């Protein structure tokens, strides 16, 4: 069984191997849950400037469009530290990169990815200035029969072409969604 610590010790080539050998997601089982997101690719100095951890949520779309979600900016207390969302002046959690969970279907992803699902940031109403709107992120379960640990890979879709980025992140199950944010689109 692969652990988060195992993933954190892997280089991009090994992470891509885990992705290609990943297991199908069950979006219905994702709905209602939130995960600790852990960047696996940024160098240490970039993590200090940006972030190392974030929250990723999954809820059933109230309009009947399957499962949707969003990212939450977190205070940086490390992987085992407290989970404290960053908030604006009105007390609302700072969210970004809203997405819908989609089946891959006939979509042809680069570098051999043939998994079953991806996160579609382009259909979730992200603002023009949020580059996440270009994201089409393959997502797999790392261990067979469990959605406790997931692995994602960043791709951008520009003018109909996929641009693979050397950015991977892990999601570790944390529990039920603590705060629901309205859909953007």
pTM of the model: 0.91
Taking 60 as the threshold, does the pLDDT of residue 21 lie above it?
Answer: yes
Cβ within 8 Å of residue 56, ≥6 positions away: 34, 35, 37, 69, 70, 71, 72, 171
Which fold is adopted by the domain 4-176? Lipocalin (2.40.128)
DSSP assignment of 108-122, as one string? --STT---SEEEEST
Task: Give me the pLDDT at residue 130, please.
Answer: 83
Q: What is the pLDDT of residues 26-69, one digit of tens each?
A: 999 999 999 999 999 876 665 565 667 999 999 998 887 799 99
């Amino acid at each position: 069984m692969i652990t988060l610590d195992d993933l954190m010790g892997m280089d991009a080539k090994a992470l891509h191997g885990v992705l290609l050998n990943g297991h199908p997601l069950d979006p219905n089982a994702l709905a209602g849950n939130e995960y600790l997101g852990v960047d696996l690719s940024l160098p240490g100095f970039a993590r200090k400037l940006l972030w190392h951890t974030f929250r990723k949520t999954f809820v059933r779309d109230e309009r009947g469009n399957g499962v949707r979600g969003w990212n939450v900016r977190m205070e940086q207390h490390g992987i085992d530290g407290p989970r404290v969302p960053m908030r604006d002046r009105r007390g609302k959690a700072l969210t970004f990169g809203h997405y819908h969970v989609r089946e891959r279907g006939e979509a042809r992803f680069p570098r051999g990815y043939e998994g079953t699902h991806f996160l579609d940031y382009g259909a979730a109403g992200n603002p023009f200035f949020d580059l996440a709107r270009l994201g089409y992120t393959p997502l797999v379960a790392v261990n067979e029969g469990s959605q406790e640990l997931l692995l994602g890979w960043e791709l951008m879709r520009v003018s109909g072409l996929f641009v693979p980025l050397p950015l991977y992140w892990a999601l570790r199950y944390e529990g039920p969604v603590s705060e629901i944010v309205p859909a953007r689109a």
